[in-house]
Amino acid sequence: MSSVSDPNSKYQSPLTSRYASPEMAANFSNNKRFGTWRRLWYNLAQAEKQLGLPGISDKALEEMSANLDNIDYDIAAEEEKRRRHDVMAHVHTFGLVAPSAAGIIHLGATSCFVTDNADLIIFRDAMDLLISKLVCVIDSLARFAETYKDLPTLGFTHFQPAQLTTVGKRATLWIQELLWDLRNMQRARNDLGFRGVKGTTGTQASFLALFNGDHDKVEELDQLVTELCGFSECYPVCGQTYSRKIDVDYLSPLASFGATAHRIATDIRLLANLKEIEEPFEKDQIGSSAMAYKRNPMRSERICSLSRHLMVLIGDVLQTASVQWLERTLDDSANRRISIPEACLTADIVLTTLQNVVEGLVVYPQVIARRIRSELPFMATENFIMAMVKKGGDRQECHEQIRVLSHQAADVVKMQGGDNDLIERVKACEYFAPIRNELDSLLDPNTFIGRAPQQVDRFIIKYVRPALAPYAATIAAKKPAELSV
C-alpha cells in the first residue's frame, strides 16, 4: 500500500513527470514563480527608495536581497490557509526573513503587480527556451535537406503518385513552415511588455498618494521598475491586469507551431509506412508487444498526439480574453494557471522530440528507387512521344501505341499483382525501335526532378542561414535531444 505522501498515490501531470525538459519544468516551478515575486518586491522597493520615498532603509533592501530564494513553503502554505490569499501569504513569509522590510514589502502595489508581472517574465523566459530549441531543429533539418537535395523520390499529391521531387526538397517544405513559426515566436517574444506599476484598477492612485501627488515621480517609478525587471517598455494603460489579449498573441504562435509539427510528423509516419524514411529506432526498442517485427514510429506519433493538445489550448485564452469584465474578473486565474504553462510545456516536449527524430532520420535509397521504377514508366510516356516525334513519328499514332501498352502494364500491376513492365513492352514493340537505345536515358530519374536541388541550395542560403545567424552560439552548443520513455 502507498502512503498519502507517496507521489505515486496521486495524479501527476505527464507534462512534468514524464515529458517536459528540466529547464522548462523549472521555468514554471514554484521556485521560479515565488522567487520572481520577491524580485519584483525588491525592485519596487529599490525604485521607491531611489525616488525619495521615506521609510525604506538600506538594511531592509539588504535583507530582501539576501532572501530572494529563501522561501519557507510550509509557512507560506499555513498563511495561505489562514488568509485565503496567496499573495498576502507570501508577503508575510518574505517579511519573516526580511524583518526590516516587513512594513514596506508590496508598498502601494496590488496583487497583480506580482502575479501579472511575474507571468510576463516567466512567459518571456519560456519563449526564449522554445526559440533556442526551434532553431536547433531547423538547423538539423537544413543539414538533412542539403545531404539529400539530389536524391530523387516519388512525389505525392492526394497521397497518390505524382511527379518526382527530391528527399531534400521535400524537407524544405517542412523547414519553411518552421521558419514562419520562428518568426512568429520571435515577434510574440519581442512584443511582450511589462504590466508595470499601475495600482489596483490601473490608475496608479496608490502611488500618486505615496508621492504626494507628484505625477512625474509616479511615471518615473513605473519606468524604473520596468527597466529593473529587464523590460524596455510597459503597457501604457491597463485595468487591474494586463490585457488578456496579450495571452492570445503569445499562444497563437505556439498553436501554429503545433500544426506544423503535426504535419511534419504525419509525413514521416506516411513515409515510414512506405519504408522510405524512418525515425530513429534503438537497438533494444520494442515496436509491439505481440508483433516482434514491428518498427512503430512512436516518436512521430507522440508529436502528433501532443501537438493536438497544443493546438486546442488557444481556445482557452481566446475565451478568457473575451470575458474580461471592465477592469478585470477573477475567472481567468485558474484557467491561465493551467492553459499557458501547459502550452509552453507541450511545445517544449514537441520540439525536443522533433529534434530527436530529425537528428536520427534514416533514409532508404534502394526502397525509394524501387518505388520510382514502379511508377516512372507511366510518367515517362510523354518523353517517349516527344522522342518519337523528333525521329519523324506521328504524335497521335504514338500516343495510341503508348496508351495500349500502358493499359496492358497497368493490368499486370493491378489485376495480377506483378511489376510494372511497361518499359519491356515498349522495348519489345517494333513501333518504338527508333528510340529503343534512348529509353534508358529517357527514364533517368534525375531528369524528372526539375530544379529541386537548386531550390534547396537557394532556399538554405537566402532564407535559412540568415534566420539562424543570430543563434549561431545556441546551435553550436546544442546537444543531441534525449527523450524520456
Do the domain assignments include residue 230? Answer: no
From 346, 178, 359, select the one nearest 279 (Cα to Cα).
359
Cα gap 213→459, rounded to integer Å: 59
Main-chain dihedrals φ then ψ at residue 11, nearest 5 degrees: -65, 140
Catalytic residue among 288, 305, 441, 484: 288
Catalytic residue among 2, 3, 5, 158: 158
- Cβ(225)–Cβ(196) below 8 Å: yes
Same domain, 425 and 337: no
Cα separations in angstroms, 424 against 237, 405, 420, 429: 77, 10, 9, 9
Cα gap 92→79, rounded to integer Å: 8
Give the count of alpha carbons within 13 A of 135, CB side only.
23
Same domain, 134 and 276: yes
Same domain, 395 and 267: no
What per-residue confidence (pLDDT) applies to 383?
A: 82
Annotation marks residue 288 as catalytic: yes
* Per-residue model confidence as pLDDT tens digits over 401-446: 888 988 898 888 888 988 888 888 888 888 888 888 888 888 889 9
Q: Extract the residue ranges of the chain whose pLDDT is less than 50.
A: 1-2, 283-286, 288-294
Task: Fill in the amino acid letter for 303.
Answer: I
Look up the domain containing 354 and give its range: 111-195+238-283+293-367+464-476
Domains in the chain: how many in total? 2
What per-residue confidence (pLDDT) applies to 406?
A: 85
Same domain, 183 and 134: yes
What per-residue confidence (pLDDT) applies to 311?
A: 97
Instruction: Tell the burial category of 45 from Cβ atoms under 10 Å away from its Cβ (0-12, 13-18, 19+).
Output: buried
Same domain, 157 and 279: yes
DSSP 113-138: HHHHHHHHHHHHHHHHHHHHHHHHHH
What per-residue confidence (pLDDT) applies to 418?
A: 86
- Cβ(372)–Cβ(286) below 8 Å: no
Same domain, 160 and 299: yes
Do the domain assignments include residue 348? Answer: yes
Same domain, 257 and 390: no
Looking at the chain, the number of H-run helices and the number of E-run strands are 22, 4
Instruction: Tell the burial category of 374 from Cβ atoms under 10 Å away from its Cβ (0-12, 13-18, 19+).
Output: middle
Do the domain assignments include residue 42? Answer: no
Q: What CATH number corresponds to the domain at position 165?
A: 1.20.200.10
Cα gap 300→278, rounded to integer Å: 10
Do the domain assignments include residue 11? Answer: no
* Per-residue model confidence as pLDDT tens digits over 112-162: 999 999 999 999 999 999 999 999 999 999 999 999 999 999 999 999 888
Same domain, 180 and 311: yes
Task: Copy the grid coordinates of residue 101.
Answer: 522590510
Do the domain assignments include residue 351? Answer: yes
In this structure, what DSSP letter does residue 462 have? I
Do the domain assignments include residue 190? Answer: yes
Do the domain assignments include residue 83? Answer: no
Same domain, 157 and 251: yes
What per-residue confidence (pLDDT) applies to 282?
A: 58
Q: What CATH number corresponds to the domain at position 385?
A: 1.10.40
Main-chain dihedrals φ then ψ at residue 275, nearest 5 degrees: 65, 25
Q: Give the contacts of 191 (CB within 8 A, at least 6 positions apart).
A: 249
From 132, 253, 129, select the one nearest 184 (Cα to Cα).
253
In this structure, what DSSP letter does residue 194 have? B
